[in-house]
Amino acid sequence: MNSKIVRIQQKMAVLGYAAHLLRRSPLSLLGMVIVLGLVLIGTLAPLIAPYPDVPYPSIRLNPPSQNHIFGTDEMGRDIFGRIVYGSQVSLTVGIIVVLIAMSVGIPLGLTSGFLGGKVDGFIMRVTDIFLSIPPLLLAMLILATSGPSIPNMMAAIAITMWPAHARLVRGNTLAIKEQSYIEAARAFSASTTRIIFRHILPNCLSPIIVQTTFDVGNAILWASALGFLGLGARPPTPEWGLMIATGRIYMPIWWWCATFPGIAIFLTVLGFNLFGDGLRDILDPRTRR
C-alpha cells in the first residue's frame, strides 16, 4: 500500500514539474492551448455548427457578418461551420498518418539498431531511398496511381513519414544498447525481445513523443497541400486545403473564402510545433533553456 502511495506521489511530482516547465515557456503553453482548443472544437462540432453543408444560394459570397462571422462561400454555405468540421478531418488525418508511420518506422528502427550488420545496412539503404525523394512529389506519385481520396492520401503521407521515425529510433537504439544495464540484462540471459521491449523501447519514448507531436502538424500541412492540388479530399468534404483551392478563384474580391481556412491551417500547425517544443524541453533535460 505504501509503495503505491509513493508511486502516485512520484507521478504527481513529475506532472507538477512538467506543468512548471510549461508555465516557464509562454509559447509552449500557447501551443498546448491551441491543440486542446482544436480537439475541443472538433469534438463539439455538431453543437457549434450543426448545418455546415447546407447551401443557401441567396446569401452566396456574403462577407463576414454577425450571422456568418467568416462569411459564406460560393454556394452560400457558412465558412465558419465548414472550418469547424474541417478540424475533425485534419485531426483524424494527422493522428492516423502518424500512427501508421510509427507502426512502420519504430519496429524497423529497433531492428536496424539492435541487430546491426547487414540487416542494419539493408534497412538504412531502403530508408535513404525514401528520404532521397521529395515528400510532396512521392505523395503525388502514389496518389496519381491510387486515385485521390482521404484514405489514399493518409497512406501516401504515412509512406513519406516513416523513414524519419526509423532513423530516430535507430540512432537512440545504437546509443542505448551500449549501456551497462543492457550488458547486465544479457549477462542474466534476458531474451532479445525482453531487452528491446523492456529496456530499449521505453528509453526511446521521449524523442518518439516529441517527433510525433511535430509530425501531426506536418501531416495536417501535407494533407492541406494535397487537398489544394486536388489529390486529397473530394467535394463537398470541408477540408481546409480543398476550401482554399476553391476560394482562391474568388480572390481578392471575396477574400474570406480562402483566407480563413488558411488561417486555420497556420494556427493548427503553429500550435503543434510550439507544443512539440514544450514537450522537448520537458522530456529532454539537455534542451532546457
pLDDT of amino acid 5: 60
- 172: number of Cβ within 10 Å: 21
SS3 of 229, please? coil
Mean pLDDT of 194-203: 85
Average pLDDT, the chain: 86
When pLDDT is averaged across residues 32-45 and rounded to a whole number, the result is: 91
Q: Is residue 220 predicted with pLDDT exceeding 70?
A: yes
Q: What would the pLDDT profile of 14-37 be if each residue is shown by its tens digit?
A: 556 556 666 667 777 888 899 999
pLDDT of residue 182: 82
Could you give the number of structural domains in the chain?
Answer: 1
Give 137-145's long-range contacts (Cβ < 8 A, gap of 24+).
139/222, 139/226, 139/231, 140/226, 140/229, 140/231, 143/226, 143/231, 143/232, 144/231
CATH of the domain at 185: 1.10.3720.10
Is it the case that residue 147 has pLDDT exceeding 80? yes
Q: Using an 8 Å Cβ cutoff, are 60 and 257 in contact?
A: no
Please compute the mean of the pLDDT values over residues 242-253 and round it to a whole number: 91
Residue 67: per-residue pLDDT: 86
How many CB atoms lie under 10 A from the CB of residue 142? 17
Tens-digit pLDDT profile for residues 229-245? 988 888 888 899 999 99
Of 96, 91, 110, nearest to 157 by C-alpha is 96
Residue 162, pLDDT score: 93
Question: Which DSSP letter does residue 78 get?
Answer: B
Please check the confidence at residue 251 and state whether its pLDDT lies above 70.
Answer: yes
pLDDT in tens, 47-90: 888 777 788 888 899 999 988 899 999 899 999 999 999 999 99
pLDDT at 143 over 80: yes
| Position 9 pLDDT exceeds 60 | no
User: What is the grid cell recorded at 223?
Assistant: 494533407
Q: What is the pLDDT of residue 37?
A: 93
Helix, strand and coil percent figures for the chain, each rounded to 5: 80, 0, 20
Structural domain for 104, as ranges: 2-287
The share of the chain scoring above pLDDT 70, in percent, equals: 89
**pLDDT computed for residue 263 by the predictor:** 95
Work out the percent of the chain whose per-residue pLDDT is above 90. Answer: 47
Report the predicted TM-score, pTM, of the whole model to 2 decimal places.
0.86
Distances (CA, A) of 203 to 61, 221, 288: 54, 29, 18
